[in-house]
Chain A
Amino acid sequence: MAKETGIKSWKELTLGIAITNPGNAAELKTGDWRSMRPETNREKCTKCGQCYIFCPDMVYAKDAEGYYAQNYYWCKGCGICAKECPVDAITMIQEVD
């Protein structure tokens, strides 16, 4: 899991909040405001990778067994993966907390 950035004291900010380590977008947690989260039923999943292709962020990555697993650090809950899944293996679950 990438380090959560952006949560800093004002004393730790760089000059003019410039970004001095470029290419760090992956560190920014974008998955902290979703209301629904996608879950995959591996009984139905065919490992086709449509979720990986259509995800507008970078939530999906192939795991050791060949399934596309979610990394919720970046998931905004948009639901595109669930909509595009050709075998309806992905369900959007209400976040509760």
Chain B
Amino acid sequence: MSKRIGIEVSIAVADAVGLCDVDVVAAYPITPQTHIVEHLSELVADGHLNAEFVPVESEHSAMSACIGSAAAGARTFTSTCSQGYALMSELCYIASALRLPIVMAVANRAISAPINIWNDHADLMYARDTGWIQLIAENGQEAVDLSIAAFRIAEDKKILLPVQVNLDGFTLSHFIEPLTMPEQADVKKFLPAYKPALRLDPDKPVTFGPVGMPDIYTEARKAQDENLKASKPIIQEIFNGFAKQFGRQYKLVETYKTEDAETIIVGMGSIAQTAMTAIDGMRAQGKKVGMARVRVFRPFPAKELIDAIKGAKNLVLLDRVTAFAGGEVSGPVALEIKSALYDRKLTPKVGNFLVGLGGRDITIQNFEEMVERVASAKDGELPAYEFINVRE
């Protein structure tokens, strides 16, 4: 029987990766991801985890080592964030194109400058177009559960793509939360031993990563994109399988009090916890507010999200990243949603807010202000995006 314990989320994520019987961990420490990697190196050094821990000299080398390791057929894990992610990013495109099921935890952190080690989603959005599957945790339990589900998703024969597990830096990574650690035996049942479809093998040589000239590059990209498209229903099936094994059900999009909501807040990650508290308060005042939370950003679950928000008159779309879009189009999360609304000829009133940048707290009052701002705005009054909680 699994026990409920109090544990720092980073340590719990590392323990969860250990439960997944990972073969290789190649990572470089960076705040606020450090404790994940540190604890994995302890598990290996103390003999609790039978894996190779590769202490590389940079994140670029970390992903290079992961690509080699995954290509050799090993279950592979790494973790990074922010500047570290930026340094490894060119290899990330290659990991997905070579269809290597690497799992990476990203303790989301702002990108410099100004130098800032605190939480926002700049690295998550930086990774958006790399062809990885992106999962986003709301709390410690979810960070643990998604870390385990991530291996199952990555290694599914019909998917075979690398997976990012995003958890908000500090807000999640450094908090001690009550959570249930899965049992090793249950993880074994849920996550079978990894059998690579193709691997580097001297007895049966293959070439990974050949040149793709103009006559094949388009086909290679199309094949990869079709694969990511096909992954969406399989991810949900795997979440359903997870629920059967561990009793916790996850969906691509999670909803809170959306059924009769006139205003729906859409966001990702730990911000949803404050949002739900704010919603309870607004509901107590008779305001019909709800929330839809995107748990999987790539592949983007447009259908599931639209099903959740289509009844709302007002949308409060949150981007935890600076848009740098020039003021006339929205931030990245809002862009996806507006595009999905347009495709379905839906025209609710939309406000896009840039919130929680570089570790700035988002308060219950902020949520009330955003909801009020959209609800009371006249047609055409709302800009493509605006900063919230900014000193004038």
Interface status of A9 (Cβ within 8 A of chain B): yes
Known contacts A15-B99, A22-B205; A9 and B160 CB within 8 A of each other: no
Q: Is the CB of A10 within 8 A of B97?
A: no
Report B333 CB to chain A, min CB distance, Å: 29
Q: In the complex the two chains form, is B198's CB within 8 Å of A10's CB?
A: no
A9 in contact with B219 given A15-B198, A16-B198, A17-B212 (CB within 8 Å):
yes
A9 to chain B, nearest CB (A): 7
Check if B328 is an interface residue, CB within 8 A of chain A: no
**Quick one: which of A1-59 are within 8 Å of B by CB?**
6-11, 13-20, 22
A8 / chain B contacts, CB cutoff of 8 Å: 216, 219
CB–CB A10/B220 < 8 A: yes
Closest residue on chain A to residue B216 by CB atoms: A6
Query: B210 contacts A15, CB within 8 Å?
Result: no
Tally of A interface residues using CB under 8 Å = 15
Establish whether residues B198 and A20, one from each chain, have CB atoms under 8 Å apart when the complex forms: yes
- Give the contacting residue for B215; candidates A6, A14, A18; CB below 8 A: A6
- The SS class assigned to the B binding surface is loop
Q: A6-B213, A7-B215, A8-B216 known; A18 and B208 CB under 8 Å?
A: yes
Note all chain A residues with C-beta closer than 8 A to B219: 8-10, 13
Q: What's the least CB distance linking A62 to chain B, in Å?
A: 31
Give Cα distance in the complex from A10 to B224, angstroms: 9
B222 within 8 A of A: yes
Q: Which residue of chain B has its CB nearest to the CB of A13?
A: B223
Instruction: Tell me whether B99 and A16 are in contact (CB under 8 A).
Output: yes
A20–chain B nearest beta-carbon distance, Å: 5
Q: Would you give the shortest CB distance from A91 to chain B, in whole angstroms?
A: 29
Number of B positions contacting A (CB below 8 A): 23
Task: For the complex, give the distance between the alpha carbons of A91 and B214 in Å.
Answer: 30
B207 at the interface (CB under 8 A from A): yes
| Docked-complex contact B216 and A17, CB < 8 angstroms | yes
In the bound assembly, the distance between CA atoms of A18 and B220 in angstroms comes to 10
Does B226 count as interface, using CB distance less than 8 angstroms? yes
Which residues from chain B contact A22 at a C-beta distance below 8 Å? 205-207
Chain A residues with CB under 8 Å of B197's CB are 15
Chain A contacts for B198, CB-based, 8 A: 14-16, 18, 20
**B57-101 interface with A by 8 A CB criterion:** 97-100
From B208, B213, B218, A16 is in contact (CB under 8 Å) with B208
Q: Which residues of A contact B98 (CB under 8 A)?
A: 16, 18
Q: Are A18 and B207 in contact (CB under 8 A)?
A: yes
CB proximity of B196 to chain A, nearest CB, Å: 10
User: Which residues on the A side are within 8 Å of B208 (C-beta)?
Assistant: 16, 18
Name the distance in Å between A44's Cβ and chain B's nearest Cβ: 37
- Least distance between A95 CB and chain B CB atoms (Å): 19
The CA of A8 and the CA of B210, in the complex, are separated in Å by 15
Taking the closest CB of chain B, its distance from the CB of A7, in whole angstroms, is 6
> Considering only CB atoms, which chain A residue lies closest to B199 in the complex?
A18
9 A-B Cβ contacts within 8 A? Answer: A8-B216, A13-B219, A13-B220, A16-B209, A17-B210, A18-B198, A18-B208, A19-B210, A22-B205
Kindly list 10 other residue pairs between chains A and B, CB separation below 8 angstroms, not including A18-B207, A19-B207.
Answer: A6-B215, A13-B223, A16-B198, A16-B208, A17-B220, A18-B208, A18-B210, A19-B210, A20-B206, A22-B206
Chain B interface (Cβ < 8 Å from any Cβ of A): 97-100, 160, 197-198, 205-210, 212-213, 215-216, 218-220, 222-223, 226
